[in-house]
Amino acid sequence: MNRLDTDRSCTGLLSYSRCVCLSLVALLLALPAVAQLATPLPATIVADLGERHATLRSAPGAYQLHATSRTEPASSLRQSGETAPSGLRLLELPAIEYCQLPESQLWGDWITTPSGERAWQGVLQLEEAGWNTLYFDQYQLNRGDMLFITNEEGEVRGAFTEANNVASHSLTTAPLYGERLIVYYYPASGERRVLPWRLSTITTALLTAVGEELPPAVGEHKGPGSPWFIVKGLECAEATVRHPEVERIARSEVLLVVRGRFFSSGTLINNSRQDGEALVLTAAHCLNNSYACRDLDYVRQSAEQSVFYFNYFSPTGDPLINGIEEQTLAGAELVAYNEEHDMCLLRITGVKPDVPQGQCAIPPSYRPYLAGWNAERDFPVPVIGIHHPKASVRRYNRADEKPPLENYDMASVPVRWVNSHLHIKKWDIGTTAGGSSGSGLFDKNHHLIGALTGGSSYCGTPYNDYYYALSEAFTGYPDDKCLKPHLAPTSDQTILEGLDPFAAKPPVRLSHQLYSLMRDSVLVRRDDASIGGVAVRYDIDTSVQYLGSVLVLGAMQEWTPVTLTIYGDEEGKPGKKLYEQTLPRPSYLLVNDAGQSPQQRTLSDAFQAFFPAKEGEPVTLVAGSYYIALEGSEGKALSAPLLMSKAQLHATPYAWHLVGSNWEPAQIDGSPYLGHYWIDPIVLGSLKAGGTSALEPVSEPRVILAGERLYLLLPEAWLVGGAPAEVELYSAAGQRILSLPLTTPRSSLSLADYALQSGVYIVHLTGAGERYNCKLIRP
């Protein structure tokens, strides 16, 4: 049944027939339970939950909810992706919706907690376990009030406070897995009162319904170097980390989850006020249910019920590793919306409260970048796509041919797009897929020129994708249907550079491996009962503020308690303890088809997790050497399967082991280990490139051929003033094979994409008026 054949309400039966060209055969998805702007729970409440958790698991008093609507079986989606016609690239999961929720007094009541506090508690029983997104309206908490949600496993969303109050009086929570949910409200007054919120809707995304379509489990503690994260059919869409030249614009790309079940992409975008406003450009069909629900009230509600995931990228190119899932913001408002171009501009509302006007309210630890843009019809090539196909980690596409402006017609869409879309006739690298909708297309100068509507490209057939053009939706419509009033409110410019809103004191992810040419060469740390902890040395050349750390970990069966500690340097080894923090179990779950229940909290694939610094305890590190350590709790051995480098050598040890009560230079199998464990602190401060002594700048360009990859190292002076450098590759006969911009001192590209024959080639580098040429011999 075509979704347009029947006139029906937007809140009626959910049908998978409206998802065009979406194959879930390759989906390996972990819906994260993340820490959107929330306040840590007080110790008394943590104690209350601990005492009540066991009884709530089997509590008979749960209110049974009945679904309002449910998707069709996932099997209706099975189709051959390689032969599917052109369609929207939105990814939708099977879902259950509960839209007719009872009044709060029917499913909850006031209680006195074991600690003596007055609280409201409600227990809800759902029809089926899944990833649940909760939507509240009439939300207006007083100062000191707290609202939070837990599941049967004791995982928590919140506490949400008055800091989450927005003009729409709505709140959307990040997904929480379970079949039974418990909502708590603690009033600051400690007195019974009318609830300052209403639970209006619950959406349950059913990952288990597509379990048989997922790839085999790959996280069963395989040997060193084995890949953990595989999305079949997307191998041609490389991880963005393989292309450090796009690092800045890649930071502008976000993964969107709308209404708990629609997955797409979007781009943080700059405006001429240069005020860091949290604007996100995406596609209209990402919010109107692929044109099934075109009512503006529905679209505005979709914006309110959106969650934005930052920095969801793999830190390695091979193997791919699940990205950070703790950096999210929730809720947005509609700024501009134009179905004639499939254009949608959002403003994130769930940002940091009490930030002075004119300053960016996105947390610095998220390292946001607001992309620049080009609203002219003329732009330089190649063009680059950054996106989240199939809700996977961030990927890179490139097309060397300039895309023409064309019509884009789809029989399943009630809008005819006339001379509005840039047609990618062929990708030279990569493909898009379901989940790529709304993602950004950038020109050679890294200006945003469009956002993805749809197409039919796949790895085997990388042809025919369509991006709506900024140039066509920039002017010529009322303010709420075009981009200029919001992107260029203070000028008539049609090209604007991007903005790093924290450039004066930038947030930096210090890493010995992320920026390394050898970052893909990794091992998983083995358990060793004789080692109580590991530490990694970082040399900092200026005063910085510590924001938290990212751990890159291999597969594990369960999370064991671990302590993160920062030590000062004392005669070249860890000395005085400066900071200590107990790390909670990562609050999300990975799902595969190996028969493992998501409720078992099985961390079955390699992943990154961000652990923010303790609230209210700012840590300043002056210039010097520091050691970021992980230690087992209560004197036990450290069992965390940290990733570690195989080929990162130093003259002095940067990895240390805690043996007994002493820190000693790391040894593995009796030999010195001079690599690194993968613990990356995030700090605020003006540091040199890479932020540590692991990356020494070069005084002249260096060109390195390693297998099929060409690595380029440039002097920082070549990139002064923000203008990109350029690399060109010529054959011995003088034919130009490629020309690409370089915006960072370290870049790489795959020569496998150009099918080069054996022989001699010429590499030509230019930047800041400097030139460099060298011969490249391909065996």
Are the beta carbons of 186 and 39 closer than 8 angstroms?
no
Q: Which residue has the higher pLDDT, 582 or 704?
A: 582
Q: What is the pTM of this model?
A: 0.79
Average the pLDDT over each of 40-49, 515-524, 620-629 and give the range with the smallest value. Answer: 40-49
Instruction: Give the pLDDT score at 586.
Output: 67
CATH numeric code, 239-496: 2.40.10.10
Instruction: Average the pLDDT over 500-509 and give the result.
Output: 87
Average pLDDT score over the chain: 82
Instruction: Give the pLDDT score at 615.
Output: 76
Backbone angles phi, psi at 764, to 5 degrees: -120, 120
Token representation of residue 453: 């509507």
Residue 649: pLDDT band with limits 50, 70, 90: low
138 has a pLDDT exceeding 90: yes
Q: CA-to-CA distance for 233 and 81, rounded, in angstroms? A: 9
CATH numeric code, 702-778: 2.60.40.10
Using one digit for the tens of pLDDT, what is the confidence trace for 703-726?
A: 877 667 787 888 888 887 767 889
CA 11, 12, 13, 15 dihedral sign is negative
212 has a pLDDT exceeding 60: no
Residue 522: pLDDT band with limits 50, 70, 90: confident
Q: Which residue has the higher pLDDT, 50 or 516?
A: 516
Instruction: Give the pLDDT score at 22.
Output: 22
Helices vs strands, H then E, count in the chain: 6, 51
Instruction: Give the pLDDT score at 223.
Output: 35
Q: Which residue has the higher pLDDT, 690 or 279?
A: 279
Instruction: Give the pLDDT score at 727.
Output: 92
Domains 31-65+101-213 and 239-496 share a fold: no
CA of residue 91 relative to chain centroid, distance: 16
Instruction: Give the pLDDT score at 584.
Output: 79
DSSP, residue by residue, 288-318? TTTTT---HHHHHHHHHTEEEE-----S-SS
Instruction: Give the pLDDT score at 617.
Output: 77
Instruction: Give the pLDDT score at 80.
Output: 36
* Topology of the domain comprising 507-684: Jelly Rolls (2.60.120)
164 has a pLDDT exceeding 50: yes
For residue 749, CA distances in Å to 295, 386, 722, 753 come to: 45, 16, 21, 9
Backbone dihedral region for residue 699 (phi beyond 0: left; psi -120 to 50: alpha; all else: beta): alpha
For residue 56, CA distances in Å to 69, 185, 241, 253 come to: 27, 16, 44, 40
Instruction: Give the pLDDT score at 637.
Output: 92
Q: Which residue has the higher pLDDT, 493 or 694?
A: 493
CATH architecture under which domain 31-65+101-213 falls: Sandwich (2.60)
Instruction: Average the pLDDT over 740-755 and give the result.
Output: 77
Token representation of residue 513: 């491996």
Instruction: Give the pLDDT score at 9.
Output: 36
Using one digit for the tens of pLDDT, what is the confidence trace for 400-426?
A: 999 999 999 988 899 999 999 999 999
Instruction: Give the pLDDT score at 645.
Output: 85
Nearest CA-CA partner of 480 in 327, 333, 664: 333
Highest-pLDDT range among 106-115, 270-279, 522-531:
270-279
Token representation of residue 419: 């001379």
Using one digit for the tens of pLDDT, what is the confidence trace for 292-337?
A: 999 999 999 999 989 899 999 999 887 788 888 778 898 999 999 9
* Domain spans in the chain, listed from the N-terminal domain onward: 31-65+101-213, 239-496, 507-684, 702-778
Please calculate the CA angle 104-108-113 and round it to the nearest 5 degrees.
Answer: 135
Cis-peptide into 167, omega within 30 deg:
no
Instruction: Give the pLDDT score at 647.
Output: 64
Helix (H) or strand (E) holding 83, with range, is none
The CB density around residue 563, as the number of other CB atoms within 10 Å, is 16
Instruction: Average the pLDDT over 135-142 and give the result.
Output: 94
E strand intervals along 152-191: 156-160, 171-172, 176-186
Q: CA-to-CA distance for 496 and 702, rounded, in angstroms? A: 32
Q: CA-to-CA distance for 484 and 496, rounded, in angstroms? A: 11
Residue 648: pLDDT band with limits 50, 70, 90: low
The size of the chain, in residues, is: 779
Helix (H) or strand (E) holding 249, with range, is helix 247-250
Instruction: Give the pLDDT score at 135.
Output: 92
